[in-house]
Amino acid sequence: MSPFSMTPYGQLRRRIVAAAVIVAPSICWGGHARAAPALRATPPQTEGPFYPVAIPADSDHDLLRNGALDYPEGQVVWLEGTVSDLAGRPVSGAQVEIWQCDHAGHYHHPGDGAKADSRFQGFGRFTVAADGRYRFRTIRPAPYTGRTPHIHVKVRLGGRELLTTQVYVADDPGNPRDFLWRSLSAEERAALTVTFAPWNDGWRAGFPIVVAV
C-alpha cells in the first residue's frame, strides 16, 4: 500500500491554496492570454545551528526507527505534503529533508553536546515522485530553551538548494514568544504554521511546499 493511500488529495490541495497567493487566472482579454496562475513561494527561514555535520547512515523517511533501534518517546506525527513550482506543477525528483530535536529538546549535533537520544533518527530524506508528494514519520516537535516547537525543512533539486525553512505548530503557546516566528508577517506565518490533527495513533500535519525552480 502506498504511504499516501490514507491522504485525501483534496485536503492537500486546499492546504496549497491556503499557503499560496493566487495572482490571477489565465484568461483571454482582447484576444490576448494573460499569465498563468502563480503561487507564492514558501517563505525561507534560517537553517539554524544544528543541521547534521555528517548525514546519518539511516536517513530515510521514518525518524522513529534509527537502524535497528525503535524510538518510543514523544507523539507520533505524519508530516506530509507536496512540492510544487510557482505554476503549481509537481517538482519531480526534488529531495525533501527534515531535522529536529528529540522529545527532550536535543539534536544529534556536537553543538548540542551530543545529548540526543540515539534511538531517534533526528534527520530524514524523501525523494518525491512524479506527483510531487512527500511523507515523513516523526514526532510532534518539542520545545527547547528559547524556541517554540518546530521542524526544519530543506528542499534540494540536483545540486541546487531551493529552500530552507521551518514548520511551526498552529496554536502552540510558545509561538508568540519565539523570535523567529514573530519576525514573520501574517501571510508568512499562515504558510509556515500548520495544524496538527489527531490521526490513528498520533497526529497528521499537511505542509505544502512551493519553490522557484
Mean pLDDT by 10 residues, the chain (213 residues): 46 45 39 64 96 95 98 98 98 98 95 88 97 98 96 97 98 98 98 96 96 97
The strand pairing partners of 154, in sequence order, are 97, 164
Q: Which domains does the chain have, with CATH numbers?
A: 9-210 (2.60.130.10)
Neighbouring CB atoms inside 10 A of 160's CB total: 10
The pLDDT of residue 38 is 87
Between the CA of residue 181 and those of 21, 96, 134, what are the distances in Å? 20, 22, 24
Measured CA to CA, the distance from residue 8 to residue 105 in angstroms comes to: 32
**Which residue's C-alpha cell is 534509527?**
66
Measured CA to CA, the distance from residue 84 to residue 94 in angstroms comes to: 9
Measured CA to CA, the distance from residue 40 to residue 85 in angstroms comes to: 9
Question: Which three-class secondary structure state does DSSP give residue 131?
Answer: coil
- Please name the amino acid found at residue 154: K
Neighbouring CB atoms inside 10 A of 145's CB total: 5
Measured CA to CA, the distance from residue 168 to residue 191 in angstroms comes to: 10
Measured CA to CA, the distance from residue 204 to residue 198 in angstroms comes to: 6
The pLDDT of residue 37 is 59
Rounded to two decimals, the pTM is 0.84
Query: With DSSP H G I counted as helix, E B as strand and the rest as coil, what are the percentages for the chain, rounded to 5?
Result: 15, 30, 55
The pLDDT of residue 137 is 98
